[in-house]
Amino acid sequence: MSKLLTLLVASPFLGAALVALIPRNFQFVIRLIALLSTAISMALSIYLFAVFQPGFGAEVHYQHKVPWVESLGINYYVGVDGLNVGLVLMAAIVGFAATAVCWEIRERVKEFYFLLLIMTGGIIGAFASLDLFFFFVFHELALIPTFIMIGVWGRGEQKNYATFKMTLYLTLGALIALVGLIALYLQSGAKTFDIVALTKHVRANPIGLGTQHLIFPWLLFGFGILVSLWPFHTWAPIGYGAAPTATAMLHAGVLKKFGLYGLIRIAIPLLPDAAQSWMNIIAVLCLGNILFVGWVAMRQKDLNLLIGNSSVAHMGFVFLGIASFNLIGLTGAVVVMVAHGFLAALTFALSGYLYNKGGQLTLSEMGGYLKRMPFVGAVLVMAMMAGCGLPGFANFVGELMVFFSAFKKFPVATALALWGALVIGAIYMLRAIRSILHGPAPEGHPGLIDAGAIEPDSWMPAAIFHWGWRKLPFALLLSALLLFGFYPGLLTEKAKHSAQQILDVAARVPEKPVTPPRPPPNMRKQASTNPGR
Amino acid sequence: MNLSLMRLELAVIGLGIAILLADLWTPERWKRQLGYLAAASLLVVLAASFWMRLPAEGVAYAFDKMFVLDALALFFKRLFLLAAILVLIMSVEFADRIQSGISEYYSLILFALSGMMFAASTNDFILFFVALELITVTFYVLTSFQRGQVQSLEAGIKYLILGALASAFMVYGIALVSGLARTTNFDGIAAAAKGLSAKPVFVAGLLLILVGLAFKIAAFPLQIWAPDVYQGAPAPTTAFLAVGSKAAGFVLLLRFLFNAIPEVTPDWTRLLLMVAGVTILYGNLCAIPQRNLKRLLGYSSIAHAGYLLLGIAAMNAAGSSAILFYLAGYLFTVLAAFTVICIVLRGLESDDVVAVAGLHQRSPFLAGAMALAMISLAGIPPLAGFFGKFLLFKAALERGAAQPAFYWLAGIAIVGVVISFYYYLGIVRAIYWSSPTPEGQPLRLSLVTRVSLVVCMAGMIYLGVFPNDAVNLALEAVKTLRFAS
């Protein structure tokens, strides 16, 4: 039992409690506390990721279990295995980056950081949680902060409509998933919400086929709405378009992955037969994401709506990986989840920066930004290329694994998805780059300065700090994309053991006795499951 | 004649009489503070209730088994006492809007409280009816207490006429049932019901009693009185009505269905499901266009009665303990909301939602309390309202395996909750990002009211985050109910 994960999860909440106590005038102190608490979470998650041995993948480590409501079998249970260690890392890094880009929030700073910290703590807790009840509750902690943040600090005339649509739609998805989770708890006969214990129990006494078919749709569509599965995706672009930068980063980057993680962790192992029979439908619906929403993204004239639709489209790849139901596919799905988390956070951070400096995000009105903002422009180019699936970035790795794994089972769907990913994705991404960055430099617009640009006559140490600090969130997210792009083994070696275990559970392979952890395999010599290297 | 079992009720009645007498000797400007005196004394009674020990069997009887003291009764008595304390503090805050007779207001609250406490302990139709009437009649007067305002009098008259009609139905039903069973005692009726359940007259009598109870909890089709009465009555009365009267209705319903006629109740599953479903939809749909704060909360309380009926329809220990937990959370939530309404509506002509607009600027504390209450009512984690709904869903889905109709009801409940998000979050929106109303007066808040709001907020958060103790208490309390499976 280790308290490390609890500290990781609790740090933002403690930060929120501190922020609530500080008088609202001390804006600098509030911001400092927020940054520190998310930085602690980030540092701990990096440490956790670094020491996590790949051979550990299938078992849960750094567990912390506290009985919560004994009569119902609810425990506070956090732990990491190969599946969620990458997601916790991504959540913590994006949380820190989101807190760091909030420099434009000037009014009601205290409430903003309070809500932001609660949201961050909630999503980290959701990924770390191994109990169905806490899994759900941690995710729902983000609901009201989102509602208030979009309403108070959001942009555009449609923000009221956007915030209500998003909140109500997400609530509908969450409640449908809740009914599915409760039904799962009741039908499994295990009298506990503990995911690990449930998986063990169901492995020994599987749930009846009819009951599985009754419960699985609830989970699929409930989680699907949360992940903006087509056709339940309409809340996402408008919601992200109206949200302030930090909220959009956390939502599109991290919160969306919650439903997918739920499907992989809960729905597939516990309802394997129903899951397999629904895979065809999932493959068709994910095409709706990739092709239909990709097409919609191509037509967008506003950068935020374009990125919002593109992030919905990318979810299709994860669904395709899940639908393929084999080791490469599931591992690829995990890689896409982590990669897209960083990507979505990065693109929304960039668009937030551009909105702040330029005042608007209409593609036709922007142009020639690369000359005025070399750093931000360069990062934007790299982010857009990553979105297209350029090798060198983590998205390429994940998408390649997904396509390789899905081709055997769904050749037509995979071919269409490839087309959607490469052609359609390239069209809107490259078009966006051309509209925003190239062309004649804009006249006037004194606000268009680069991130961390040094003002003349400023005190040198402060200027240097400012130069580095303003670039840090973008650099952090970009380097994560590059790191996992060039060295994906860091992620896949950990995830594949958990993915294999989930597939074993789904295939009714009897449980093997626990083997002691193998020494970390030599990366270069081992036959890699990742054809991308 | 085991009077010592009733010492809590006797203390409350004595306190009510004492307040009335104290009014004679209290100077005019101190009369308001009698409310604090009453609240403090009730706090002593509440503490004393924790010293009451049940005998080894867990049940004690008095008055020829008319009055029963068990864990269920104690749970509800404590709930009512807590509600009354918070309502009394609210009424002191409200006292400037009552022209005269503030001490009678306090005493009536105390007498209504005693009626609720008797209702929690009923084991006999006579006590059932007397307790119910004690509550209802005191509420007729409490509703129309603002004699200078037409809407208050109108609400009182509506409540009186419809309430009298419902009581008439109920008394007729009681007469039929007791006549056939030859006893008014619940244990006797349970024994006789096995033989009588085929007789249409018996079943008709039971249904008539159900009609009377449905009026009390404001369930479809007897919910029409609720929005008008909630809107017209003074805010503390509405608060006590929303919490105390509803909880009293539910404890009576629990005792009636599961102590008096446990064998007959399973036949009514379909009926209860339909009533629950329609109540949920009616309450939520009608609340959408509401602009009046108290009326909105009236419709929302109809919806909450619907959710609670889910727990009744489940007919198992999980469902009934869920009802108890939900009512405990509901208490803190609704009393917080009404305390804020009480303060915010001071000096304003209308009760429009505009009154809370921009509350975050005028008073962040009140804004936080109201927002927390709305969020808990909507059922968002980690607050008490969510865990209550979670328990109710779980109880309903437990039955879903055997009867698919429960899945349909879960679906309707989901639709209801999503609809309710719209109007609850609409209030949160008004609080946090609408511009403040120009004619609002500065918000004065006494220390005691502040403390009571903190208690409510702490209660909401505690029940939501650490529900273990409350859940165990609730499970313990429903052991005396009999569920025929």
How many whole angstroms separate alpha carbon A361 and alpha carbon A358?
8
Q: What is the mean pLDDT of residues A392-412?
A: 90
- Categorize the per-residue pLDDT at A526 as very low, low, confident or very high, splitting at 50, 70 and 90: very low
Question: Percentage of chain A surpassing pLDDT 90?
Answer: 44
User: How does pLDDT run across B363-396, given as a tens digit for each residue?
Assistant: 889 999 999 999 999 999 899 999 999 999 999 9
Q: What is the mean pLDDT of residues B180-193?
A: 90
Residue A524 above 70 pLDDT?
Answer: no
- Categorize the per-residue pLDDT at A533 as very low, low, confident or very high, splitting at 50, 70 and 90: very low
Question: How many C-beta neighbours within 10 Å does residue A347 have?
Answer: 30
Distance from CA of B381 to the nearest CA of A (A): 6
Identify which of A228, A14, A9 has the alpha carbon closest to the alpha carbon of residue A113: A14
| A114 at interface of B, judged by CB pairs closer than 8 A | no
Per the prediction, chain A carries an average pLDDT of 87
State the burial class of residue A430 (Cβ atoms within 10 Å of its Cβ: 0-12, 13-18, 19+): middle
Say which residue the tokens 């949920």 belong to: B280
Structural Rg of chain B based on CA atoms? 21
Task: Check residue A528 and give its pLDDT.
Answer: 47
How many whole angstroms separate alpha carbon B96 and alpha carbon B102?
9
How many whole angstroms separate alpha carbon A340 and alpha carbon A345?
8
Distance from CA of B278 to the nearest CA of A (A): 19
Q: Are A328 and A529 in contact (CB under 8 A)?
A: yes
Distance from CA of A161 to the nearest CA of B (A): 11
Least confident of A446-455, B52-61, B402-411: A446-455
Q: Which residues in chain A are contacts of B472 at CB distance < 8 A? A: 71
How many whole angstroms separate alpha carbon B479 and alpha carbon B485?
14
Say which residue the tokens 């070696």 belong to: A493
Helix segments in B218-292, DSSP class H: 225-232, 235-240, 246-255, 269-287
User: How does pLDDT run across B242-285, given as a tens digit for each residue?
Assistant: 999 999 999 999 999 998 888 888 888 999 999 999 999 999 99
Q: Are B190 and B183 in contact (CB under 8 A)?
A: no
How many whole angstroms separate alpha carbon B2 and alpha carbon A520?
76
Question: How many C-beta neighbours within 10 Å does residue B55 have?
Answer: 10
ipTM of the complex: 0.90
Least confident of A188-202, B286-300, B445-459: A188-202
Residues 6 or more apart whose Cβ sits within 8 Å of residue B310: B276, B319, B392, B393, B395, B396, B409, B413
User: How does pLDDT run across B118-127, given as a tens digit for each residue?
Assistant: 999 999 999 9
Task: Check residue B265 and give its pLDDT.
Answer: 86
User: How does pLDDT run across B58-74, given as a tens digit for each residue?
Assistant: 788 888 889 999 999 99
Assigned token pair, A172: 């509908």
Residue type, A483: L
Contact B421 A168 (CB under 8 A): yes
User: How does pLDDT run across A350-383, given as a tens digit for each residue?
Assistant: 999 988 888 888 888 888 888 888 888 999 999 9
DSSP, collapsed to helix, strand or coil, labels residue A70 as: coil
Contact B397 A182 (CB under 8 A): yes
Q: Are A288 and A417 in contact (CB under 8 A)?
A: no
Q: Across the interface, which of A69, A172, A178 has its CB nearest the CB of B393? A: A178
Per the prediction, chain B carries an average pLDDT of 91
Question: How many C-beta neighbours within 10 Å does residue B207 have?
Answer: 15
How many whole angstroms separate alpha carbon A177 and alpha carbon A259?
9
Residue A532 above 60 pLDDT?
Answer: no
| A22 at interface of B, judged by CB pairs closer than 8 A | no
> DSSP assignment, residue A451?
T
Residue type, A367: G
**The length of chain B, given as a count of residues:** 485
Q: Are A114 and A24 in contact (CB under 8 A)?
A: no
Contact B381 A69 (CB under 8 A): no
Q: Which residues in chain A are contacts of B417 at CB distance < 8 A? A: 171, 175
Residue B440 above 70 pLDDT?
Answer: no
| A144 at interface of B, judged by CB pairs closer than 8 A | yes
Q: Across the interface, which of B398, B422, B468 has its CB nearest the CB of A168? A: B422
How many whole angstroms separate alpha carbon B457 and alpha carbon B258?
33
Task: Check residue A460 and give its pLDDT.
Answer: 78
Residue type, A250: L
Question: Percentage of chain A surpassing pLDDT 70?
Answer: 93
Identify which of A488, A503, A520 has the alpha carbon closest to the alpha carbon of residue A54: A520
Q: What is the mean pLDDT of residues A458-485?
A: 86
Task: Check residue A351 and give its pLDDT.
Answer: 92
In terms of CA atoms, which chain B residue is nearest residue A218?
B411
User: How does pLDDT run across A423-445, given as a tens digit for each residue?
Assistant: 888 998 998 898 888 887 777 66
Query: Angle B435-B437-B439 (CA atoms, 0-180°, nearest 5)?
Result: 155
How many whole angstroms separate alpha carbon A264 and alpha carbon A244?
30
Q: What is the mean pLDDT of residues A118-128?
A: 94
State whether the Cα torsion B171-B173-B178-B184 is positive or negative: negative
Residue A30 belongs to what H/E stretch?
Answer: helix A27-51
- Categorize the per-residue pLDDT at A523 as very low, low, confident or very high, splitting at 50, 70 and 90: low
Least confident of A46-50, A143-147, B89-93, B352-356: B352-356
Contact A178 B390 (CB under 8 A): yes
User: How does pLDDT run across A247-256, given as a tens digit for each residue?
Assistant: 999 999 999 9
Assigned token pair, B359: 């509350």
| CB within 8 Å of chain A, chain B residues 406-445 | 407, 410-411, 414, 417-418, 421-422, 425, 428-429, 432-433
Assigned token pair, A4: 């490390």
Q: Is B65 left (phi over 0), alpha (psi -120 to 50) or beta?
A: left
Which of residues A2 and B77 earns the better pLDDT score? B77
Q: Is A62 left (phi over 0), alpha (psi -120 to 50) or beta?
A: left
- Categorize the per-residue pLDDT at A158 as very low, low, confident or very high, splitting at 50, 70 and 90: confident
Residue A525 above 50 pLDDT?
Answer: no
How many whole angstroms separate alpha carbon A85 and alpha carbon A88?
5
Task: Check residue B72 and give its pLDDT.
Answer: 93
Q: Which residues in chain A are contacts of B401 at CB distance < 8 A? A: 186-187, 211
Least confident of A163-172, A307-316, A517-526, B283-292: A517-526
Which of A13, A69, A258 is the best substitution to test chain B (most B C-beta atoms within 10 A)?
Answer: A69
DSSP, collapsed to helix, strand or coil, labels residue A68 as: strand
State whether the Cα torsion A127-A128-A134-A139 is positive or negative: negative
How many whole angstroms separate alpha carbon B238 and alpha carbon B129?
22
